[in-house]
Chains A and B, each alone.
Chain A
Amino acid sequence: MDMQVAKKKLGLKERYALMTRDLGWDTTYQPMNKVFPQAEYEGIKIHDWSKWEDPFRLTMDAYWKYQAEKEKKLYAIIDAYAQNNGHLNVTDARYINAIKLFLNGISPLEYMAHRGFAGVGRQFPGVGTRVACLMQSLDEIRHSQTQIHAMSNYNKYYNGFHDYTTMIQRVWYLSVPRSFFDDAITAGPFEFMIAIGFSFEYVLTNLLFVPFVSGAAYNGDMGTMTFGFSAQSDEARHMTLGLECIKFMLEQDPANVPIVQRWIDKWAWRGYRVLTLVGMMMDYMLPKRVMSWKEAWEIYFEENGGALFNDLARYGIRPPKFLDQIAFDKDHISHQAWGTFYNYAAACNFHSWTPTDDEMDWLSAKYPNSFDKYYRPRLEHWREEAKKGNRFYNKTLPMLCQTCQIPMIFTEPGDPTKICYRESDYKGTKYHFCSDGCKDIFDHEPEKYIQSWLPVHQIYQGNCFNPGVDPTAPGFDALGAVLDYYNMAVGRDNLDFEGSEDQKNFEAWRGMATKNI
Chain B
Amino acid sequence: MSTVFIALQTNDDTRPIIESIMADNPHARLNEAPAMVKIDAEGKLTVKRESIEERLGREFDLQELHINLISLSGNLDETDDELTLSWNS
Contact = CB atoms under 8 A, between A and B. Distances in A.
B87 A310 contact: yes
A310 B79 CA distance: 26
A50 B58 CA distance: 36
Given A13-B79, A56-B76, A210-B71, A217 B60 contact: no
Contacts of B88: 311, 314
A28 B24 CA distance: 51
Contact of B73 (A232, A290, A308): A308
Given A217-B35, A311-B87, A66 B66 contact: yes
A243 interface: yes
Instruction: Assign chain A's interface to a size class.
Output: 35 or more
Interface in B69-89: 69-80, 87-89
Contact of B34 (A56, A69, A218): A218
B43 to A, nearest CB: 10
B64 A210 contact: no
Contacts of A13: 79
Interface of B: 2-5, 7, 9, 13, 33-36, 38, 58-61, 63-64, 66-80, 87-89
Contacts of A248: none
Nearest to B76: A55
A243 B3 CA distance: 16
19 contacts: A3-B64, A11-B80, A57-B78, A62-B63, A66-B63, A66-B64, A210-B38, A214-B35, A215-B34, A218-B35, A225-B35, A232-B71, A236-B69, A236-B70, A243-B75, A306-B2, A307-B73, A307-B87, A314-B88
Going nearest first, the 5 A-B pairs with the smallest beta carbon separation are A307-B2, A217-B35, A218-B34, A5-B59, A55-B76
Contacts, number: 113
- Interface SS of chain A: helix
A2 B58 contact: yes
B35 to A, nearest CB: 4
A210 B70 contact: yes
Interface of A: 1-3, 5, 8, 11-13, 55-58, 62, 66, 69-70, 73, 206, 209-211, 213-215, 217-218, 225, 229, 232-233, 235-237, 239-240, 243, 247, 290-291, 303-304, 306-308, 310-311, 313-314
A73 B67 contact: yes
A209 B3 CA distance: 20
Nearest to B13: A1
B72 A239 contact: yes
Contacts of A214: 33-36
A515 to B, nearest CB: 29
B67 A206 contact: no
A311 B75 contact: yes
A215 to B, nearest CB: 7
A3 B61 contact: yes
B2 A235 contact: no
A41 B76 CA distance: 30
Contacts of A210: 7, 36, 38, 70-71
B71 to A, nearest CB: 5
Identify the interface centre among A62, A236, A311, A313: most chain B CB within 10 Å of its CB.
A236
A234 to B, nearest CB: 8
Contact of B72 (A57, A69, A225, A236): A236
Contacts of A239: 71-73
B78 A12 contact: yes
Given A5-B59, A217-B34, A217-B35, A233 B89 contact: no
A232 B74 CA distance: 16
A55 B77 contact: yes
B9 A229 contact: yes
A394 B78 CA distance: 55
Nearest to A217: B35
A217 B71 CA distance: 17
Given A217-B35, A307-B2, A55 B66 contact: no
